[in-house]
Structure formats: structure tokens, C-alpha cells
Structure 1
Amino acid sequence: MVNAMLVNEFLKEHRKVQEQEATIVQLKKDIEATATCQQKQIDVLTAGLQNVSDQLGLSRPVPQAVVRNP
């Protein structure tokens, strides 16, 4: 009787552990997908900032040195 109770308790806990392991695997996949998506967004934003920076560099007048006679 005690052995059957122990086996049942073990099986119950074992199922819990298996469910937790499956949850962990899924969460890791979700994190990886999120990180990949965020990296793509960062790359797009970085490219956009570079374009704006390049355009600003082209549109700025070139500084000229002014020589003053005392």
C-alpha cells in the first residue's frame, strides 16, 4: 500500500518535471525568436540612421576657414 502511494507520488512529480521541461524548451524557442526579430529591427533602424547621417553629411555646407587681417 505504501509502495503504491510512493510510486503514484513519484509518477505525479515526474509528470510535473516533464511538463516543466517542455515549458522551458518552448520558452527558450520563444526567447530565441524574439531576439532574432529584435536584431532584425535593430539592423533596419541602424541602416535608417546611417542613411539619415549620410544625408546630413551631404547637405551640410563645408566649413570654410576665414582669415582676418588685424
Structure 2
Amino acid sequence: MARSRAAKRFLRTMVLGILALATLIWAAVDQFGVSTDTLLELALGALLMVGFAIVAAALFVALWVGLRRLLRRRD
């Protein structure tokens, strides 16, 4: 199956990004002595904050759309 040039570029970028992240984690553990427990705690905290931001944005959009519908019905 022939992939388009854009698909190949996307796949290459994803692989390089994952390898770069793995290198950063390895360097943090091996070179700087950061414990894996600390890394897991930081990763979990970042994941929770991203989830919180997504939920907050979804609530804001729902509120925005709801208010627009209410204001349009009154006109």
C-alpha cells in the first residue's frame, strides 16, 4: 500500500518525537538521578492537569452555546 508523502512525513515526525521523549526520560533518570517514582508522579500530575483543562474548556463551550441559544430564542 503506497502512502502519501504527507503520511510518511507525519509518521516520521511521530516516531522522532517518541524517541526524543524516551531520550529525555532516560537522561532524567540516568544522568540527573531523578527517581522513577518522581517521574511517574509528575507524569500523572501533567495528565490530570490536561484532563482538567479539557473538561473546563468543554464546560465553557457548553455554557457559551447554551447562552447563545437562549438569547436567539428571545429575539
What TM-score do you get using the length of structure 1 for normalisation?
A: 0.56
5+ residue gaps, structure 1: 44-70
Q: How many residues align?
A: 43
Structure 1: how far apart are the matches of 2:50 and 2:40?
15
**One-letter amino acid of the counterpart of residue 53, structure 2:** E
The match for 2:65 is: 33
Structure 1: how far apart are the matches of 2:53 and 2:62?
14
Higher Rg of the two aligned structures: 1
Structure 2: how far apart are the matches of 1:25 and 1:2?
33
Runs of 4+ deviating beyond 4 Å: none
Structure 2: how far apart are the matches of 1:17 and 1:26?
14
- Verify: 1:21 aligned to 2:44, yes or no: no
Structure 1: how far apart are the matches of 2:61 and 2:49?
18
Which string of whole-angstrom CA distances, capped at 9 and with x for unpartnered residues, describes residues 11-57 of structure 1? 001100000000111111101100000001121xxxxxxxxxxxxxx
5+ residue gaps, structure 2: 1-32
Q: Which has the higher contact order (CA 8 A, sep 6+)?
A: 2
